[in-house]
Structure 1
Amino acid sequence: MQAILHDRVVMSASTSKKKPPFPEISFEDRLKAAVQLIGPHEQPNINALSEIVRNLPGICFSVKNMGYELARSLAAGLPAGKTSARHVGLKSKASTQADLESDWARHWCNELGMRLIFHRKVWELAYAMQAIYENGMMVPGKRGVGFGCGEEALPSYFAAKGVDILVTDLAPDDARASGWANTAQHTKGPDSAFHPHLVDRKTFDEKVRLRYVDMNDIPSDVRDYDFCWSICALEHLGTIENGLNFIERSLDVLKPGGLAIHTTEYNFAHDDLTIDNWGTVLFLRKHFQQVYARLTALGHQCAPLDLSVGNKPMDRFIDVPPYAHQMSAALAEEWNESVAHMKLLVDGFPATCFGIIIRKVGS
């Protein structure tokens, strides 16, 4: 009897507990709700936090467009006319406004049929071409391999100069390639690298081959090339260590005395804090110093390091989100043509491009 009464008391106590009227809401969900522009009834979401953050998008758009307008006005003032290739003695360095104001950058933009704007991606193309030219690799009979080429115009240009090119990229069925394909940054097939304003089809087909290659696992039969390059690819190899290892392993594809040129992301505002183990990692100055020291210790020749990021107006302008892929389709289409920046925020870190030039030790 006592056991039965005890069970009844326990059951009565358990059933008398009131259930919470609403499910528990996590702190993250509460925070998201607090910063929404619109409340449940499509009315302004007014609270202490939203009043602080709701005007940030407008401020960001204003900052962006003022920077873009500055870039346009500066570019409009650059001299026009014919240019010619010349030796300038490129260093391993960051992208700067001064570089894009130079006659050598303007020359390579002219060669590619590309409008010169103050954009770090334009700098990367000009930097790679200048390095390849002034190291004697842009001549008939040379052989080059590009890593993570996407839809770059460089293979077509080199083919027109009589250079044999191996274009490489991730295989289309690799899950990592899907994101690049959606943004026209993946080589879907040979035609992705064909730019008819730079080379005729016959020459392209004779001079350019495509092979799908994982930059973390370069096949052992990709060998004996005169030069190799990659443009903003090695920061997408998963970790900082993978990226640095790729720089060193890329020398394996070269003949003795061959040339490697790589550009990547540079977190210039911090000495230790950065992004690693992510889809896009950010390299610090110490990483470039480490790879420079390691390669020179092995006998390779690296162009001197210049870690300066410049001090002109476009060097000081740091673009902020939202970027084109984060805007509405209509706004992205209308504003994307005006994009111009040497630096931008990547997951909150100020970043720019950095290029490194390496001459493999001779036999």
Structure 2
Amino acid sequence: MNDAGSWWKKRLGSPADFLAPVSMVASGTHTEHPDYRKWVPRLEQPHGRHRKVWEWCFILNALERHGVLAPGKRALGFGVGTEAVVPLLASYGVSVTATDQSIEQAGAWAMVGQHAAAIDALRGSKEAGFDFVMNSLRTLKPGAVAVHTTEYDCTPGRRPLLETGSVEAGDYCCFFRRQEIEELVDRVHSEGHQVDLDLRVGRRHAFDRHVDRPPYAGDPHIRLAVHDRVVTSVGLVIVAKP
């Protein structure tokens, strides 16, 4: 593969603030924010220098900001497996249903919940990812919040959509670019829901300039190389229409 690190380090930029009430791209700068660092030990993680830990901290920060981390609230997570965020939500008194069911199968429960937090890696084709998000919004009560995280291709320039693996093998992954995220947000807005977007990509922090490569050391792992791309995570916060 091409040396992603050499050209990546030459491109400096500032990310969204971790506490900003917006959907955003993961950054090493966020790992130093007090409101990020408070979640890391609560998640029982040794450090926060990994994009998956960033996703969990982003989810928890968004849910806290929207008042979901309180007794009597309800959360519904799709495809969350054994992720550390689920027991932590329960420790706040949130009634959590974590399922690998489809949205259609689980939707009846979600419709009566006070809040539903839909968390998914958006795996599948581009349209399957879009459909997942749009369908998840139908499980929400008016004013409730959905939080999604997924892989994000932050490689500069015009490159085709990166897809790896296969659906049949169960390892298919689609790496959304800026244009896919913006297209998805346009669909969300078209149905009257609220989502604020800041896709600035941080490149000033050392963890942003470091691109982890196969076989992936994992520390830091905010940016990683996949083929000839630089990949990270993006988090979306969507508030259902009133």
Q: Normalised by the size of structure 1, how large is the TM-score? A: 0.56
| CA shift for structure 1 position 156 | 1.2
Q: 5+ residue gaps in structure 1? A: 1-52, 64-86, 170-212, 324-335
| CA shift for structure 1 position 150 | 1.6
Residue pair 2:110, 2:116 contacting (<8 A) in 1 also: no
1:154 pairs, out of 77, 82, 85, with 85
Indicate the structure whose relative CO is greater, using CA pairs within 8 Å and at least 6 residues apart.
2
Task: Encode CA deviations 1:113-140: one digit per residue, 9 max, x unaligned.
Answer: 3222321111111000000000111111
Determine if the alignment matches structure 1 residue 241 to structure 2 residue 133: no
> Number of matched residues?
220
Which residue in 1 is equivalent to 2:146?
A: 260
Counterpart secondary structure, 1:165: strand
Counterpart secondary structure, 2:38: helix
| CA shift for structure 1 position 358 | 0.1
Residue pair 1:271, 1:285 contacting (<8 A) in 2 also: no
Determine if the alignment matches structure 1 residue 341 to structure 2 residue 229: no
Task: Encode CA deviations 1:317-349: one digit per residue, 9 max, x unaligned.
Answer: 1111123xxxxxxxxxxxx6x632111122332
Determine if the alignment matches structure 1 residue 214 to structure 2 residue 102: yes
Determine if the alignment matches structure 1 residue 313 to structure 2 residue 202: no
Give the counterpart letter for 2:150 in structure 1.
T
CA distance change for structure 1 residues 220 and 123 in 2, over 3 Å: closer, same or farther?
closer
- Provide the alpha-carbon RMSD of the alignment: 2.5
Residue pair 1:240, 1:276 contacting (<8 A) in 2 also: no
Identity percentage over the alignment?
Answer: 32
Residue pair 1:119, 1:341 contacting (<8 A) in 2 also: yes
Alignment of 1:56-67 (within 5 A): none
Residue pair 1:141, 1:162 contacting (<8 A) in 2 also: yes
- Runs of 4 or more off by more than 6 Å in structure 1? none
Partner Cα distance (1:276, 1:341) in 2: 20
More helix by share: 1
CA distance change for structure 1 residues 294 and 288 in 2, over 3 Å: closer, same or farther?
same
Q: 5+ residue gaps in structure 2? A: 6-17, 167-171
Residue pair 1:274, 1:282 contacting (<8 A) in 2 also: yes
| CA shift for structure 1 position 275 | 2.0
